[in-house]
Amino acid sequence: MNPVLTFDGANGLFSPYKFSEDCCIRDKPLLIRFTKRAKEKLDKMKGKLTVEMQIYFSCMVQKRVLFHENYNDESVKVNDKLAIALRVVQSDVCDPVYYANYHPEKAELTNDKAGKMTAKELIFDYKKEGWIGGFKIG
The pLDDT tens digits of the residues spanning 96-128 come to 666 566 666 666 767 677 667 888 999 999 998
Q: Note whether 125 and 132 are within 8 A (CB).
A: yes
Residue 1 has pLDDT above 60, yes or no: no
Decide which of 25 and 91 is more confident.
25
Distance, CA of 5 to CA of 136 (rounded, Å): 11
Residue 27 has pLDDT above 70, yes or no: yes
Residue 47 has pLDDT above 90, yes or no: yes
Q: What is the pLDDT of residue 36?
A: 95
Distance, CA of 95 to CA of 92 (rounded, Å): 10
Highest mean pLDDT: which range of 1-5, 55-59, 120-124: 120-124
Name the CA radius of gyration of the chain, rounded: 15
> What average pLDDT score do residues 41-52 get?
96
